[in-house]
Structure formats: C-alpha cells, structure tokens
Structure 1
C-alpha cells in the first residue's frame, strides 16, 4: 500500500490519500492541524509522521495506522518556526531548520515521539533546508552509524553550511565550514546520492542546479558542475522550489514556481554530472513534490492551484504523463509518499 500526505498551511490541513497502482488517488482522511502545517517527515520505520506548525511553534507527532490514516499522539513545543525537516541518517533525531528565525534545531525521537530540541544553532541566515549524509561507503546498520555530515542551505548568505553529527545527537564544527555559492544564488533545497559522494543543490534565485563531489584525498567537497534548470532563459525572476533524485539515481527532478515547470535531468552513472533531459508545465506554483519508492510516479502540489497532480514516470524515457489530479487544502506546500 502506498500512502500520500499533503500539507496545506493556509487551511491548516493534512490530506491523506492512498496511491493506487494505476496512479489514482483515493482520499482517506483530512486532518485538521493545530496551526499552519508546513514540513512533514516520516519516521524511519514508517509508523509515525512529524508535522511542524505555526504560529504556536510545535512539531506534532502522528501515528500512521495500518490503513495510512493518522492518529494524533503528541504536540511538542519548538523555539522557532520550522521551514523544513528531515531525519538524521540513523533515524533517531528529527532535524528542523528555521528560515524566519535563522536556526537549526535537533530534536531526539524517544519511542518515535519528537521531543523538545536538545540543541539549537543560531545565526544561520535564512536557513531553508537540512539533510543528513552518512560517511561514504558505511556498511554498518543505521543504529551503528557513528558520524554524519549535516548540510544546511542558508539562502540569505549564499552558503551551504556543514556540520559533523554523532550518534549522541551532538553537532560539531566541520573541517570545511561551508560551501559557497555565487552572490545572490540563494541555495534552497538539496539532495545527496546514497553513497554520500554527490550533492545536488537547487538555487532559488539564479536559475541554477549545483553538483558538488566529495574529494577522497582531502575529505573535501568541491563544485563539479553548475547548470541551469531553466530551459528557455528570460527576464522573469527565478523562483525554484524542490529537488529529488529517483531511487535508481539515474534522474534528478526540480520544480520552478515562476514558470510552473518540472525539469528532469539525466545523471551520469560514473561522474554524477547532470544533463537536461526534459521539462514540462505542471501545477501552478509547484512548491513541493515527491517520488514513490519505485520511481513509478511523481506527485506535485500546486501552491497556486490548491491541487495535487500524479504523473506516471515512463520506465525507459523518464518522461512524465499526468494520470490523476485531486483538490487538496489551500496553498499546499509539502508532499510525502510512504510505501507500507
């Protein structure tokens, strides 16, 4: 069973769907949230969902029932408004950035319930997104992961800040404090390859995707490629949103909100470099999207359309074809797909 969760902050709702084998969506539940709900993250075991709300800053823990529906478990206060969230590589901590309050929060998960942050970093200018990448080629189970690197995009100062993170949940300085982007680039969202050697960043403001590679000889990240996600350049303001790799890591998708496009890049299996593959119009203001674990479907939420669309991904060409469209709440922002 595949379940889809869509957060809509303006209407303060979570929509829960079942994703059918054909790509159809069956509405299972509409959950009223205790505030404007934005980022949602699913626990490593797929049993819990964490939703951050405002203006009373909190993370809400929901139990995901066997049929995909949500049951409220707990509300935990946060010191800042969360703009994005993810799990650390071990699945034992919830990491949350705050774009409005310039920070990063580390919340332990105790019996899968989000706790109050045990560590808060300040002065991260417009911290938009965070991901955790375990050290390359680790063969240990997630419970045995000793060290990870956190990457935090700071849109306000055009930097991607790096931190070391251990299994006790402690943040430490990284030998390479940050990756710098061009002035005014506005690094926004990012994703890493499974082997921890390739990092892809979408710049919100200059129309570019960045590809960084890990240099073995120095344990140092270096910019390998910079290319545009805008197929036809024009004078419109760039306004990128989200970025995801397919599970097989052969393609990368990015969404852009000014031209309402979804762009697909091919990924070279050896170098990790990107080449423009396809681009199409999608929902108005495609703020968030996600892929199902088998690379069969892409689901995109239109912040300007109040709808979510399902696209079938051709197994050979990777071209997208819309197969379903459903209304959701007002100004949807985040989409998450869970395989049960």
Structure 2
C-alpha cells in the first residue's frame, strides 16, 4: 500500500523528514530514492538543491517476494532517468521496473521479473537495453534484455559462472567494457561488452588481481573515463587504475589505505563514489561507520586523503547529488540517512541533518526532475 502525504503525516513521519520548505512552487527539482531491505520498500524524497533538505513524498512497496530482501535491495536507473529497477534478494529474486513521475517523483510499479539468482549489484548499460547483475551468493554474472517498454525480459541473454562472491558490475562510458570485482577471488574480471547483442566476452587479460585477502567489492569509473577506482571490503583500501582507451583493460596505478582495517577482521568497506566534476572521491567503511574523502589528482588520477567523518551506523550505501553539493549516506543499523554538505574547494564533509528511513536502508539513487 502506498502512502500519500496525508497518510505519512498521520503516521508522524513527515515532520521528521522535513517541511514544505524543500518544495518550490512546482515541487522539488531533485528526487532521492532510498531502498530499505528490511521493509521491502523505496522511500521517495524531494530534495532542496540549495540546502539539501529532504521532504517525504511517498513509500513505494517493492512486490514479488514474501520474505524480506536479506541485507540489501539493489537499485539501478535507466540512462534516461525515467525508470528505476530494484531487485529483492529473496526467492523468486524478482527485479521490479518502476516508472518515475518527474512532476512529483512518485514511482509506478510496471512489472516484476524473476532473475536467475539474487544480485548484490545491478546496472543498466548505456543504451538502456540490458540489465546486468552480479550475484554474490550465486557466483555468477547475468545479462537480461530490456524491451521497448523498459521491462526486463524473463530470459537471460547470458549467464556466466564466476568465482565466489561477485560483487559489482561497472560499465565504461563507451559501453564497450564491463568490470566485475569478485571478492572471493581477489580480482576484477574484465569483459568486452557488445551492446548490439548484450554479450560479454573475456578481455585480455580476463582478470586483474588485487593483493591476497583484499576482497575487491565496488568499482567505479572517473567522469573522464581514464581511471577506475576499486574499494576493497576486507582491507578497506582504495585503488586507482588507468583504463586503456581502446582495449578497456585496467592497469594498477596506486592504492591508498583508509586505516580502518585491524588486520584481524574484515573492515567491511562498502561503497565508493566520485563527485560529478571528478575532483573528489569518497569511500564508506561499515565497521567504523566512517566516510573517507580524497582529492583526485587531475593528471595522474591518484588519491590524496582530505579527511574522514562519522556518518550513519553501518553505512552500506551512499550517493552524491548531480551538482556535487551533497553526499547522502544511509545506515543499515541506524535505519537513518544523513545529508552531508560537500565543501566545493576542499572536499570536506559537514553533517547537515539526519532523516529516518525504513529498516536496513542500503541503496541511494538521486534524480533531477525532467521538464518535458
């Protein structure tokens, strides 16, 4: 059941989320989507671009499975930002397609398609015609076609077995190469991607190794397409890689250490993002509930630490708004989201305000309003 503003206010949620100050005359210009694994829903929030203030719009249920979504509910946006995909990590592992109403940010559920396995990470290629997923529990990478209605088809284009704990699928700007960190194998798989067929083929070499026991988790690509960045879950390090423009292959440049690994237990580093202007990179570590910030060298792509800041308890996911002004982090164990302001000169973070979320919030997507 969806709740309108009146229903949410009746539950006492709206005053905690903010007031109408986040709204313009025509409504918010930016919308935030937070998935909650424990309550199988997506919070839709309006965002004030100047202050970062959030206003509740609705809670959209994610249907298709009786049980909760284990420890995460991954989401992915279509390239045109008009559709949102979300997968429940409980049988039958349905991925839902939602259309985004850009007048008010609300979601309309269109369809749910069972996938071959639960995915730790989903992504959509640059054409919007294929959904790619990495299965941590199932040790596989899968590619599914997306039809003209933006619905995920029920028959996979390709299913590839991997070593244990495939954790992410990242696609480069050319839409010709894909990268899959495999935590259990301590390497990143490199693929060529054919957008005309949706097929992945191993690149040469097919993998790039990290240090033994590092636990590669998430990989992202710099806006200039020249560098990629890998965060390792176990040791909480972040690596810079150069990307061959033609071949799409990775070459390790340098790693930085967050210092959050105690050499005994996993640091459980989680997520990594770059500001849209390419100046700053941030990584999250769950055991310490810290965000680590780095300045990116514009010539080499290497990282220089600028600070670390406390955030929500057990920050599994975060994201940065399209203007690079705010970082929004959610805490799995705090059931809350904190808006952090990003200093545009230094990259330092300043906590602005926390907001209550559902149970086990873990994924954040941010979309600017489209004016047709």
Which bracket does the TM-score occupy, shorter chain normalised? over 0.9
Which moves more between the two structures, 266-275 or 207-216? Answer: 207-216
The counterpart of 1:312, out of the listed 327, 341, 365, is 341
Aligned length: 329
Report SS of the residue matched to 1:284.
Answer: coil
Structure 1: distance between partners of 2:245 and 2:150: 35
1:256-275 mapped onto 2 (5 Å cutoff): 256-275=285-304
Q: Which residue of 1 aligns with 2:153?
A: 115
Q: Which residue of 1 aligns with 2:126?
A: 89
- Structure 2, gaps ≥5 residues long: 1-28
- Match among 309, 318, 323 for residue 294 of structure 1: 323
Question: Greater share of strand residues, 1 or 2?
Answer: 1
2:229 to 194, 200, 216: 200
Q: 1:48 aligns with which of 58, 64, 83?
A: 83
Is contact 2:170–2:178 with CA below 8 Å preserved after alignment?
Answer: yes
Change (3 A) 1:218 1:174: closer
1:330 has 2:359 as partner: yes
Aligned to 2:97: 61
Secondary structure of the equivalent of 1:200? strand
Provide TM-score, normalisation by structure 2.
0.85
Q: How far apart in 2 are the matches of 1:236 and 1:244?
A: 24
Who is 1:148 aligned against? 176
Q: Do the aligned partners of 1:236 and 1:258 also contact (CA within 8 Å) in 2?
A: no
Query: Per-residue displacement from partner, 1:20-51 (whole Å, max 9, x unpaired)?
Result: 13111101011122244511111111111100
* Structure 1: unaligned runs, 5 residues or longer: 136-146
The offset of 1:196, in angstroms, is 2.5
Q: TM-score, normalized by length of structure 1?
A: 0.92
Who is 1:139 aligned against? none
Contact 2:214 2:234 in 1 (8 A): yes
Could you tell me how far apart the structure 2 residues matched to 1:217 and 1:325 are? 44
Structure 1 runs of 4+ off > 3 angstroms? 215-220, 231-237
Q: Does the aligned pair in 2 maintain the 1:231–1:279 contact within 8 Å?
A: no
Task: Assess, with a 3 A threshold, how the Cα gap between structure 1 residues 14 and 273 changes in structure 2: closer, same or farther.
Answer: same
Q: Is the 8 A contact 2:235 2:261 kept in 1?
A: no
Q: Which whole-Å CA distance do the structure 1 matches of 2:327 and 2:246 have between them?
A: 37
Tell me, in whole angstroms, the C-alpha distance in 1 between the residues paired with 2:88 and 2:206.
30
1:125 aligns with 2:161: no
Q: Is the partner of 2:172 in helix, strand or coil?
A: strand
Q: Secondary structure at the match of 2:45?
A: strand
Q: CA separation of 1:218/1:296 partners in 2, compared to 1, >3 Å: closer, same or farther? A: closer
Equivalent-residue separation in structure 2 for 1:339 and 1:219 (angstroms): 30
1:71 aligns with 2:108: yes
Task: Show the counterpart of 1:241.
Answer: 270
